[in-house]
Amino acid sequence: MSQRLGVYPDPASLAGGAASVFVGSFKSAVAERGIFTAVLSGGSTPLALYRLLAAEHKDLDWAKAHLFWGDERCGSPGDAGSNYNGANAALISKIEIPPENIHRIKGELAPDEAARLYEKELTGFFGVEESTPPPFDLVLLGMGADGHTLSLFPGTRALDEKERLVVPNFAGKLDAWRVTLTFRAIERAKKTVFLVAGAGKAAVLKEVLEGKDYPAGRVKGQEVVWLADKDAAFLIKE
């Protein structure tokens, strides 16, 4: 598994770098197999990327793209905090992509029901057996200042899930349930890209890249890439 870090001067150029990776992965997947599958990250960092894709890459053959989510908050898809809602407002509502290509986690259902349903949607779509990691072309991830990624928070049960691809996970510090992909679900991804911005992430980014144990550092994939802005990377020695 290879890991590498790309540093950009500011959040806007970080979004530009991420867009190049996204478009490159999209085009090579479509050229190879006529389809592109991507897991979108929640949170605020990737929104600049989603807006840039909508603004500058409408010309992609979005009918060949299938979009999934890495995690979702429990509640309605119209909630302000919904990861689906964020991506829909920034990207999906602005491109020509068939509704059936949008595979959202149904956060409005009970957490375990939403998780089991989503796992069935993943294994059905990719034609794999239950609990077999799907071969996503691209997985986009963020990281919290506590080193969490997806909704895999430090000290929570979902970190130890070895079988299921999607589980409910209670985030004690947020006093909230989440539905999240597990590490297993993304371990076969062709390319996994972390987007990290802001000085608030600098300490944890340095420790993760130095190998200190945080959930984000446990992510496995064929190729794991870290894209950060200068503020998030300022503690990293060249």
Query: Which residues of this chain interact with ligand 6PG, rule CB under 6 A?
Result: 41-45, 70-71, 83, 142-144, 148-151
Name the β-bridge partners of 229.
Answer: 8
**Interatomic CA distance for residues 118 and 96, integer angstroms:** 24
SS3 138: strand
Encoded tokens for 100: 């059936």
**If we measure between CA atoms, which residue out of 114, 146, 125 comes closest to residue 214?**
146
**Interatomic CA distance for residues 171 and 9, integer angstroms:** 33
CB of 59 to ligand 6PG, least distance (A): 27
Q: How far is CA 4 from CA 9, 47, 126, 142, 182, in A?
A: 17, 22, 28, 15, 22
Q: Of the two residues 91 and 150, which places its CB atom closer to ligand 6PG in the complex?
A: 150
Encoded tokens for 25: 């992965």
Q: Of the two residues 37 and 60, which places its CB atom closer to ligand 6PG in the complex?
A: 37
Q: Of the two residues 134 and 142, which places its CB atom closer to ligand 6PG in the complex?
A: 142
CB of 65 to ligand 6PG, least distance (A): 20
Burial of 5 (0-12, 13-18, 19+ CB in 10 A): middle
Q: Of the two residues 40 and 60, which places its CB atom closer to ligand 6PG in the complex?
A: 40
CB of 30 to ligand 6PG, least distance (A): 26
CB of 86 to ligand 6PG, least distance (A): 9
CB of 23 to ligand 6PG, least distance (A): 21
Where does the chain show beta strands of DSSP type E? 2-8, 36-40, 65-69, 71-73, 102-103, 138-141, 166-171, 176-181, 191-196, 223-229
Q: Quickly count helices (H) and strands (E) in the chain.
A: 6, 10
CB of 32 to ligand 6PG, least distance (A): 28
Q: Of the two residues 95 and 176, which places its CB atom closer to ligand 6PG in the complex?
A: 176
Q: Of the two residues 90 and 143, which places its CB atom closer to ligand 6PG in the complex?
A: 143
Query: Nearest to ligand 6PG by Cβ — which residue?
Result: 142
